[in-house]
Amino acid sequence: MTFYAGLTYFTQNSSNSTSKSYQTPSNYVSVSSTGVEILINDNVYTPIFVNSNNTALPNAVTSYSGDYTNYIIVNNSSENWVLTLPLGAGISTNTWRMGSFLLSIKKTGTGTLTIQTPVDTVGTRVRGINTTSNKSYTLSSASEQMITLVYTNGLTNTGSTDTTAEIWHVIS
């Protein structure tokens, strides 16, 4: 039996945050008829570790610049902790992304983890999880648990235009 594999690696063009290219980045996987080549810099795959309660995730572009720095690992042991999502693309903030962004959060402990949005900015930003009316989401399993969220800016939970909406959609 013969198996064939094809991989495409998308990299972000640093001069334009919305364009994508097929250029070989500094970290890549290459599959050909002669074999597999993997080149990974040591510092690229380091997630953000959270080791204290009431932590707010950063919103600077540089905080999420590595390929896997949008992975958050929360070491809450048996404690019940709260984690605040980063500020998004609201007006007059030092924003980390425009449009959409994927964020994965893993709770390593047996305690609950409540993920909350930053407070609303009256007249400018109405924030929420799944809808603008839900301000938090709780992982309460007695074991490790993971959640993946997609951030959208300027859209409702149904995709309609709402310039004040900033929603984190739970996708898994």
DSSP state of 70: T
Question: In this predicted model, what pLDDT tens digit does every residue of 103-124 receive, in sequence order?
Answer: 899 999 999 999 999 999 888 8
Measured from the Cβ of residue 108, the count of other Cβ atoms closer than 10 Å reads 17
**Cβ 162 vs Cβ 156: under 8 Å:** yes
Among 14-18, 38-42, 49-53, 152-156, the minimum mean pLDDT is found in 14-18
Residue 122 to residue 140: CA distance in whole angstroms: 31
Q: Is the pTM of this model over 0.75?
A: no
Give CA angle at 69 (66, 75), nearest 5°: 155
123 token code pair: 């007249």
CA neighbor of 53 nearest in space, from 14, 13, 81, 21? 81
Whether 136 shows a pLDDT value over 70: the answer reads yes
Residue type for position 45: Y
**What tens digit of pLDDT does each residue of 86-106 get?**
887 654 455 555 667 888 999
